[in-house]
């Protein structure tokens, strides 16, 4: 492999598609999933109950892992900010639409308005918790993965994807549930929910590890890069492309 610095303006074939996929999963899991609570009965474990959004939210972390591993922390940072902006806009848009006066001339509004308030009318605490937890958790995930890649010299990808998810999802859950529900739920309930959701999200990451390997390998071959963040400033408050690119070939 030849090592060289890449120009900040270097274009990538699949980067934009990955960012779009990450944002789409993030919005769907935060806007659609939280409205429904699911219960499954599993062998040995019995009945387990969780918010439907938690089943798909970890996929956004897999996108974050792939972006950091292939394109580096700086470009993953841009994707995280794109997701944060999309969540902020979706939250503002949903609140604005709910509060707009419904026309009494349309009979369907009598059914639609309560449904919109039920599904999208999250309290300010839940909306704030989602935004803060996503921002902190995703940056923690990307930072840990980038640092572990340097530490392992690019070997043992599974240690980075799983290790970063263990940290990122822990930070996410430890941030979201206290902000959203402290003083509403019992403390024991919050602790149990945090522990279960963290375990479930990490399990999803583990199960998707073979797919992550395949996607990362495909992207590195076709994009011609493997990013090591040796020259990156790990501040979240920047949109600059930084770091060194290790080219294949």
Domain boundaries, the chain: 13-227
pLDDT by position in tens, the chain (length 249) = 444 444 444 689 999 999 999 999 999 888 876 657 777 787 887 877 777 777 788 999 999 999 999 999 999 999 999 999 999 999 999 999 999 999 999 999 999 999 888 878 877 888 899 999 999 999 999 999 999 999 999 999 999 999 999 999 999 999 999 998 899 889 998 898 899 889 989 999 999 999 999 999 999 999 999 999 998 999 999 998 876 777 665
Q: Note the pTM of the prediction, 2 decimals.
A: 0.90
Where b means 16+ CB within 10 Å and e means fewer, 81-90 reads bbbbebbeeb
Q: What are phi and psi of 72, to 5 degrees?
A: 100, 165
């Amino acid at each position: 492999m030849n090592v060289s610095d890449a120009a900040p303006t270097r274009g990538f074939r699949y980067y934009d598609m990955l960012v779009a996929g990450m944002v789409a999963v993030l919005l769907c899991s935060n806007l659609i999933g939280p409205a429904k609570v699911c219960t499954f009965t599993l062998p040995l474990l019995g009945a387990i109950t969780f918010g439907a959004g938690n089943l798909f939210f970890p996929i956004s972390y897999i996108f974050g892992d792939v972006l950091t591993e292939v394109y580096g922390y700086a470009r993953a940072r841009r994707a995280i900010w794109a997701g944060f902006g999309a969540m902020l806009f979706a939250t503002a848009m949903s609140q604005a639409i709910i509060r707009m006066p419904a026309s009494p001339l349309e009979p369907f509004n009598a059914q639609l308005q309560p449904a919109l308030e039920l599904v999208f009318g999250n309290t300010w605490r839940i909306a704030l918790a989602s935004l803060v937890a996503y921002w902190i958790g995703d940056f923690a995930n990307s930072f840990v993965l980038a640092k572990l890649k340097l530490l392992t010299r690019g070997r043992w990808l599974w240690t980075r994807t799983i290790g970063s998810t263990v940290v990122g999802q822990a930070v996410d859950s430890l941030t979201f549930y206290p902000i959203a529900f402290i003083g509403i739920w019992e403390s024991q309930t919050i602790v149990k929910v945090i522990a279960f959701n963290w375990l479930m999200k990490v399990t999803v990451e583990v199960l998707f590890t073979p797919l992550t390997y395949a996607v990362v390998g495909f992207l590195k071959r076709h994009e011609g890069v493997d990013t090591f963040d040796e020259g990156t400033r790990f501040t979240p408050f920047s949109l600059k492309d930084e770091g060194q690119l290790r080219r294949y070939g």
